[in-house]
Amino acid sequence: MTTKRRVRGNPIPLIVEPHPENYTGYPFITLIQYRDNHTLLIIDQRSPKTIEGFVLDLCGPTGTDEELLINTASEWFEHHQTDYPVSFYFSQQGLSSLFAPVYRVYPVEFVTRVIGPMPAFGAVVPPAIKRRRRKHLSSSIQIVKTF
């Protein structure tokens, strides 16, 4: 009897597409398909394991000013889109606390399709730190405290 190994998430690879030729909306807005649900967001950062961004569909339920979010993101896109993530620009403008309720992180393994830009900034991903395990001292070693 053979057993099937369970695959976590979606085994289908991530499909990233540019906006269609006839797209007339904002160029910084991205549509993702997460667990068969379509979501509009402004992607802040992409890493190999996650997609982080501001979800426009949550602006109404959380009471976030969607017009202010889009206008500020538009300013960032015109001047600083290749310099740093949009969340840095929101922080510089003093708006990060207003937009925090709509910030979400999506694991890439459950995202099957992306339409629009997916910016990635290497300096934003925290470095992986490997720590050694703590070794216990044997009882035969004498510990001397000097102050």
In a domain, 135, yes or no: no
pLDDT at 143: 79
Count of domains in the chain? Answer: 1
Domain that holds residue 51: 28-121
Name the pLDDT band for 22 (thresholds 50, 70, 90).
Answer: very high
Which of 42-46, 98-102, 122-126 shows the lowest per-residue confidence on average (mean pLDDT)? 122-126
130 assigned to some structural domain: no
Are residues 69 and 23 in contact, defined by beta-carbon separation less than 8 angstroms?
no
pLDDT digits (tens, 9 = 90+) for 43-58: 998 888 889 999 999 9
> Is 144 part of any domain?
no
pTM of the model: 0.75
Tally Cβ neighbours within 10 Å of residue 84.
17
For residue 34, being part of any structural domain is answered with yes
Tally of CB atoms within 10 A around 63: 10
